[in-house]
Structure 1
Amino acid sequence: MTDLRAVAITAVTASALIVAGCSAGGDPDKGNSGLVASPPPVTGTASASSPKGLVLPLEAYQTTNAQELMLSRAHDELTTACMRRFGFTTFTLNQSDSPQQSGRPEQMTRRYGPVSDAKDAAEYGYHLTPGQNLAPPAKSAGSSKRTSSETLVLTGSAGGPKPQPDATQSTKATYGGEEVPAGGCYGETGRKLAVDPSVNINFPQILAVSAYDQSRADSRVRDVVTKWSACMSEKGYNIKDPVDAAAGFSLDGAASAKEIQQAVADVACKEKVKLVSVWFSVESAYAQKLIEQNQQQLTAVRNQLDVQLRNAAQTLGQAVPR
């Protein structure tokens, strides 16, 4: 059975969790840069019954799904071309070799609970809609195990851990009469895409998780959640938090009539108490404050992403998608 609560939260946390050793508190080298000292004022409440189409402030410093797909394709194409230059003519990347993250769902639709759109609730209940597919696009399985020669050329090391793609120190190794690039083909790809290791491009995602967590604990959000819970109680459902609304249901098979009925009530109560509008507005206020506190780092991230996107687009012979 799939845990629907975990699925709902995944849309918020998945990107940040890929950063090893980092927490939602922000950049470890920047102290409390991911925390807001006091609840920020909300200058205006968004008028929205559904989160679809809403854009959080920190999204300006992140890639879109289409852009992530392009970066992943460019990474794969450059790395594969490098490997084949060394004679590995049948080389393909394993699923885990690529920095692909394009399987994340549209991040707003399940942000304030597993369903917040009336049409989705009536059709899918708490199930994932086609646009919320969490599985990344299928890729070739590649080789289940690399030979030492493949590993040497791919990573610049015959047996050690995968180096950072920015590696510049010579490997002092050759294969097929050609010197292996610093950092192997991964390193060559990183340099062609202009990866800058000093810029943590995941930092905006970490801040976004922090803004969400802080907004969830904010009294204004807790108040509207309490109102939503009271509304659900009037309809016969004893649920304290919209994030937990799908507990007890499964993603296996089609949504049951019981699930759809509850999901429809869930969204109706959200609309009645303006939960999406309030929560989005409060979260946006936290996000904007975090942007102000971390503007220099975020600008560096945006600039780095723009460079990588331009290089990836040039590699693939296409325009940068929106």
Structure 2
Amino acid sequence: MEQQGFDYEAPEQQSASATPTGHERRYGITDLGAARKYGYHLGGAPIPQQQPRESKRYERALAGTGKPRGSSGEFDDGCTGEAHKELEAGIDMEAVDLPQWYKRDSFQRSMRDSRVTTAFREWSGCMAGKGHRFSSPLDPPGSRKVMGRKVTAYERSVAVADIECKGRTGLVVTWRDVESALQKATVTSRAKELEKARTETAKLVRRADKILASEDG
């Protein structure tokens, strides 16, 4: 960016305590106290600040045009693309991404397991008894009637019923146990691939540390 005449400041990082990891809501909401107060919204999460509008020249320098560059076949991804090239050169990024792919796969497969689908039906029946009709515990947050920009009394009532029904049916424990078994089987059957993922990720982290150290120096 400096070579193109711009100062660049990386976005401020949120604290770990304020940033959800995704794991705590993997099977939907489970915190009854938070549900009573925030519904499906993230309690205590910082409100995103409006970023200053940068010039078109700045945005193009940062992100490029996204179009092919000449006859090389490469896409113009700006300085962001150049940074990725420097960071990832010689590293097998498919291997680095593999654990995340396995994580998504185990989640999808767990939802097709008969024990989980049975728990879903029991949870759905419990919710219907409380006046809320949903097939899956992943459905309420996606409903416009339930979750809008602001927390409503209706949203809180659905969220509380959701957690109570999870407890009554044992859904979270069943779902977690099923997915855990799938993941353990993957760790055993894909040990070689996961070891490569570990090696390539370690290389990526070392490369990032080296780049940052050179910039600080």
Q: Which moved more, 1:279-288 or 1:137-146?
A: 137-146
Distance 2:191 2:76 in 1: 30
Q: Percent identity among equivalent residues?
A: 25
Is 1:127 the counterpart of 2:22 in the alignment? no
In structure 2, relative to structure 1, the CA distance for the partners of 1:199 and 1:136 (3 Å cut) is: farther
Q: TM-score, normalised by structure 2?
A: 0.72
In structure 2, relative to structure 1, the CA distance for the partners of 1:283 and 1:185 (3 Å cut) is: closer
Q: Which residue of 1 aligns with 2:27?
A: 112
Q: TM-score, normalised by structure 1?
A: 0.51
| Among candidates 226, 233, 245, match of residue 128 of structure 2 | 233
Give 1:282 deviation, angstroms. Answer: 0.7
Distance 2:172 2:30 in 1: 8
| Structure ranking higher in helix proportion | 2
In structure 2, relative to structure 1, the CA distance for the partners of 1:220 and 1:121 (3 Å cut) is: same
In structure 2, relative to structure 1, the CA distance for the partners of 1:262 and 1:225 (3 Å cut) is: same
Q: Which residue of 1 aligns with 2:139?
A: 244
Report SS of the residue matched to 1:243. coil
Confirm or deny: 8 A CA contact 1:92 1:140 kept in the other structure: no
Report SS of the residue matched to 1:271. helix
Report SS of the residue matched to 1:111. coil
Confirm or deny: 8 A CA contact 1:94 1:144 kept in the other structure: no
One-letter code aligned to 2:90: D
Distance 2:46 2:197 in 1: 26
Is 1:211 the counterpart of 2:106 in the alignment? yes
Give 1:216 deviation, angstroms. Answer: 0.3
Q: Which residue of 1 aligns with 2:182?
A: 286
One-letter code aligned to 1:298: L
Unpaired runs of 5+ residues, structure 2, are none
Distance 1:224 1:285 in 2: 17
Give 1:91 deviation, angstroms. Answer: 5.5
In structure 2, relative to structure 1, the CA distance for the partners of 1:195 and 1:294 (3 Å cut) is: farther
Report SS of the residue matched to 2:23. coil
Distance 1:227 1:278 in 2: 12
Give 1:287 deviation, angstroms. Answer: 1.6
Q: Which residue of 2 aligns with 1:256?
A: 152
Distance 1:207 1:299 in 2: 14
Aligned residue-pair number? 197
1:178-193 counterparts in 2 under 5 A?
190-191=85-86, 193=87
Give 1:234 deviation, angstroms. Answer: 2.4
Give 1:217 deviation, angstroms. Answer: 0.6
In structure 2, relative to structure 1, the CA distance for the partners of 1:203 and 1:138 (3 Å cut) is: farther
In structure 2, relative to structure 1, the CA distance for the partners of 1:296 and 1:131 (3 Å cut) is: farther
In structure 2, relative to structure 1, the CA distance for the partners of 1:257 and 1:298 (3 Å cut) is: same
Give 1:291 deviation, angstroms. Answer: 2.3
Give 1:129 deviation, angstroms. Answer: 3.2
Unpaired runs of 5+ residues, structure 1, are 1-79, 96-101, 152-156, 165-183, 318-322
Confirm or deny: 8 A CA contact 1:106 1:132 kept in the other structure: no
Report SS of the residue matched to 1:242. coil
